[in-house]
A and B are shown apart, each in its own frame.
Chain A
Amino acid sequence: MAIPLVSKLLRNHLLELASKDERLDGRGRWDGRETNLEVDILPRAEGSAKVTMGDTIVYAGVKFQLMTPYPDRPNEGGLMCGAEVRPVAGRNWEPGPPSPQSIELGRVVDRGIRESGCIDVKSLCIIPGEKAWQVILDLFAISDDGNLFDAFALAAIAALKTASVPCERFDIGPDYPLEVSTIPIMCSYHKVGNRFVYDASYKEELGGDERIHITLGEEYHVHSLQKGLKGIFSADEFAEIMEKAKDKSTELRKLVNSKVGE
């Protein structure tokens, strides 16, 4: 990603807004943008979702491949999660091999899903030591107006929830839905104007400092954390956003459940 210039004017403006407890687009500190989730929209994918958060738009697609289980884990299939932010998504995203930014994106989303245990990799085994399913989750950004992390994570879990294992195509019996036992939800908070806000827009990310990503499972179990970018935060600040993440994750989990028909 090309490193964009950050004007002092923008930073000062954000500071000034923060002192009045306001945000660039008029939202409250803990308000998200309008979030829209569509599922099963990609006919070539075995599971798919599209998430729109304001002007941020991402797709997630699930594909299955046959793999040989790893020698040390002969009874397990695999889960792979990759994020691609191609230059279509914004003028600062450049072509070429995945940038550190998009690798971080993919890995943080991957950890939240993997560590929540929502996919039982043992259930992906077909013949121990010989054949197993590899679930490949591809995250694809179409438009980046900030907070790709949350959009990716939401699309990812919704896509998995709608995925069906394509046994027929591989002559291994009838297709069946992929079992996804829990719904991990990521909530991201950016330090903008010296205080944390939820769901930062591109301009807020640009003129802000560090960001913190929290993935919460059912009953507020913590599954992944990530602090990114330069910045210092206190334990009190963290405790505050953790409390906010609990409410927000419950709300977003309801959204996922309402779309995947449970």
Chain B
Amino acid sequence: MGGYGDIQMIDENGLRMDGRGPTDIRPISIETGVVPVADGSCRMVWGANEVIVAVYGPMEAHPRKIQRQDRAVLDVRYNMAPFSTTDRMRPGFNRRSREISKVTSDALESVVLLEMYPRSKIRVEIEVICAEAGTRCVGLTAASVALAHAGIPMTDMVVSVASGKIHDVVVCDLNKEEDNYGEADLPMGILPNTGELVFLQMDGDLSPDQFQTAWDYNMQAVDAIHEIMIEALKNGGEK
């Protein structure tokens, strides 16, 4: 986590650099069907983040050794396009993207009804086209929209959102500048219908009170995001 610097991240009225209050999230829009050749897809723009997710399957799992007799395997890949960051991102997997792929997969496996498709594979491809802090949350949220768009049965979609701390103040949904100077980050994956969690990470430093505040901010943000996801699926329905 970065140092303080001289930058004023929160003004005297409690407003952040981009004019948001502590609990406000960045603007979100979702469009489904953006990858015409995929079985399900969506583009999610969240602040300046832009993520495209394509879902392929259920299809035959190759090679046979990866097949599971009682359920489908979920093959999730998170990747950042080379031009998605200020400094060019070298193509290919790195440790960060592998870890995010894995935790995203773990979260989605908890909601997708994999046992309905034994011996098959469902591919989820998450491509970050433009990054502005919080891409793992955008990726996971968008992935569940794309899975729903592909008609894959799930118990619920996943809404993923993060809260963090800047200059000792807890705020929801950090942007890039805030993230650079942030002192903590708590991303969560929440099931909107039950309030249960399928994804949780945290790094930084939070007091018990701050932790509770960050937790509550995330929980409060869920409904608004869930609404946008459902609207996007209703609007782009034909595929």
Identify the A interface with B (CB < 8 A). Answer: 2, 42-45, 48, 55, 57, 59, 61-63, 65, 82, 84, 86-91, 95, 97-98, 136, 138, 140, 142-145, 169, 202
Q: Judging by beta carbons under 8 Å apart, are A63 and B83 in contact?
A: yes
CA distance A170 to B59 in the complex (A): 48
Q: Which residues of A contact B52 (CB under 8 A)?
A: 88, 142
Q: Which residues of B contact A42 (CB under 8 A)?
A: 83-84, 129-130
In the complex, how many angstroms separate the beta carbon of B183 from the nearest chain A beta carbon? 25
Q: Judging by beta carbons under 8 Å apart, are B91 and A88 in contact?
A: no
Q: Judging by beta carbons under 8 Å apart, are B81 and A140 in contact?
A: yes
Write the B184-218 contact mask toward A (1 if CB under 8 angstroms, else 0): 00000000000000000000000000000000000
Q: Which residues of B contact A95 (CB under 8 A)?
A: 77
Nearest to B56 among chain A residues (CB) is A91
In the complex, how many angstroms separate the beta carbon of B45 from the nearest chain A beta carbon? 11
In the complex, how many angstroms separate the beta carbon of B40 from the nearest chain A beta carbon? 12
In the complex, how many angstroms separate the beta carbon of B154 from the nearest chain A beta carbon? 20
Write the B69-109 contact mask toward A (1 if CB under 8 angstroms, else 0): 00000000101011111111001100000000000000000
CA distance A180 to B83 in the complex (A): 20
Question: Contacting B88 at CB < 8 Å: which of A55, A65, A97?
Answer: A65
CA distance A174 to B47 in the complex (A): 28
Work out how many contacts link A and B, with CB atoms closer than 8 A: 92
Interface residues of B, dominant DSSP: loop
CA distance A228 to B81 in the complex (A): 27
CA distance A65 to B54 in the complex (A): 31
Question: Contacting A43 at CB < 8 Å: which of B35, B48, B82, B127?
Answer: B48
CA distance A65 to B85 in the complex (A): 13
CA distance A43 to B83 in the complex (A): 9
Q: Judging by beta carbons under 8 Å apart, are B36 and A143 in contact?
A: yes
The 4 closest A-B pairs by CB, nearest first: A61-B83, A88-B125, A55-B36, A45-B83
**B7 beta carbon closer than 8 Å to chain A:** no
Q: Judging by beta carbons under 8 Å apart, are B37 and A202 in contact?
A: yes
Contact flag A44-B91 (CB < 8 Å), given A63-B82, A87-B123, A142-B52: no
Contact flag A97-B92 (CB < 8 Å), given A43-B48, A44-B84, A142-B52: yes
Nearest to A166 among chain B residues (CB) is B86
Q: Judging by beta carbons under 8 Å apart, are A136 and B88 in contact?
A: yes
Nearest to B59 among chain A residues (CB) is A91
Q: Judging by beta carbons under 8 Å apart, are B82 and A138 in contact?
A: yes
**B169 beta carbon closer than 8 Å to chain A:** no
Identify the B interface with A (CB < 8 A). Answer: 34-38, 48, 52-54, 56, 59, 62, 77, 79, 81-88, 91-92, 123, 125, 127, 129-131
CA distance A142 to B59 in the complex (A): 20
Q: Judging by beta carbons under 8 Å apart, are A143 and B35 in contact?
A: yes
Q: Which residues of B contact A138 (CB under 8 A)?
A: 81-83, 88, 91
Q: Judging by beta carbons under 8 Å apart, are B125 and A86 in contact?
A: yes
Question: Contacting B37 at CB < 8 Å: which of A44, A48, A65, A89?
Answer: A89
Q: Judging by beta carbons under 8 Å apart, are B36 and A145 in contact?
A: yes
Q: Judging by beta carbons under 8 Å apart, are A57 and B83 in contact?
A: no
Q: Which residues of A contact B130 (CB under 8 A)?
A: 42-44
Q: Which of the listed residues B34, B36, B59 has the most CB atoms from chain A within 10 Å of its own CB?
A: B36
CA distance A87 to B129 in the complex (A): 15
In the complex, how many angstroms separate the beta carbon of B52 from the nearest chain A beta carbon? 6
Nearest to A82 among chain B residues (CB) is B91
Nearest to A98 among chain B residues (CB) is B91
Q: Judging by beta carbons under 8 Å apart, are B35 and A88 in contact?
A: yes
Nearest to A50 among chain B residues (CB) is B129
Q: Which residues of A contact B87 (CB under 8 A)?
A: 63
Q: Which residues of B contact A59 (CB under 8 A)?
A: 81, 83, 129
Q: Which residues of B contact A87 (CB under 8 A)?
A: 56, 77, 123, 125
Q: List 10 A-B contacts (CB under 8 A).
A: A44-B86, A55-B36, A57-B36, A61-B83, A63-B88, A82-B91, A91-B37, A138-B82, A138-B83, A138-B88
Q: Which of the listed residues B35, B62, B131 has the most CB atoms from chain A within 10 Å of its own CB?
A: B35
